[in-house]
Structure 1
Amino acid sequence: MIEDYRFGNIRIDGKNYTSDVKIINEEVKPNWWRKEGHNLFPEDIKDILEAKPEILVVGTGAYGVMKISSQVRKLLEQEKIELIEAKTEKAAQIYNELLQSGKKVAFAAHLTC
């Protein structure tokens, strides 16, 4: 569970992370770097695609600066993975709600901007 999010910091299962993270099959993948910092491309979420979640929740940053490429949108649609994008604080809440409801959900979050 995501317990708290503040600009540049997220607490998941009692541990704080200060760099971008992914959660795949309820396992935290810290220090997530993307091909281009504020853009999301298919190669940035290859491990998520391989896990085949029902839903991918993307936290686009505190101010929503990170953009999701059309290639990612198309690929998720082809793989029948629902995309939910929101500023990271809201995305964390959505992820928790979906997880508690029993959905197979992945999370990818930009923690700053």
Structure 2
Amino acid sequence: MKVEHYSFGKIIIDGKTYTSDVIIYPERVDSSWWREKGHYLQIIDLSDAVNAGPEILIIGTGYFGKMTVPKETLSHLESKGIEVHVEHTKKAVELFNTFQNDKGVIAALHLTC
């Protein structure tokens, strides 16, 4: 999977355009990702991604970085042995693309604010 383009509210992954938040798995894209508390990322919001067993999880907090990732969410992910990177979505996309051939990488990306 490769992210070919990202701008506010829009991402192109392997030639397909998405306009809602996504989780990019090694073999598929989940474009139905939403968070129970919107801009506050909880452990439950990442349960499918965690269950997929990634070595690395890249979290994109939005174009302006408005999505909050609380310490308890980070601690939970790290306790599962997951290396976590939290960045504004533009930077998260760049980081994801550096790992694109690594099967142990998942990206959860908030596309708007």
Deviation at 1:24, TM superposition (A): 1.9
- The one-letter code sitting in structure 1 at the alignment partner of 2:72 is Q
In structure 1, the partner of 2:106 is 106
1:44 maps to 2:41? no
Consecutive unaligned residues of structure 2, counting only runs of 5 or more, are none
In structure 2, the partner of 1:26 is 27
- The one-letter code sitting in structure 2 at the alignment partner of 1:84 is H
Deviation at 1:93, TM superposition (A): 0.8
Q: Work out the percentage of aligned pairs sharing the same amino acid.
A: 45
Deviation at 1:98, TM superposition (A): 1.2
Deviations 1:20-42, CA, capped at 9 Å, x for gaps: 00012331000211011101101
Deviations 1:52-99, CA, capped at 9 Å, x for gaps: 111000110000000112221111111110110111111001001012
Richer in strand (by share): 1
TM-score of the aligned structures, taking structure 2 as reference length: 0.94
Where in structure 2 are the equivalents of 1:1-113 lying within 5 Å?
1-100=2-101, 102=102, 104-113=104-113
**What number of residue pairs does the alignment pair up?**
112
Provide the rounded CA distance (Å) in 2 between the counterparts of 1:99 and 1:26: 11
TM-score of the aligned structures, taking structure 1 as reference length: 0.94
Provide the rounded CA distance (Å) in 2 between the counterparts of 1:86 and 1:110: 10
Sort the Cα spacing of 1:81 and 1:51 in 2 relative to 1 into closer, same or farther, 3 A: same
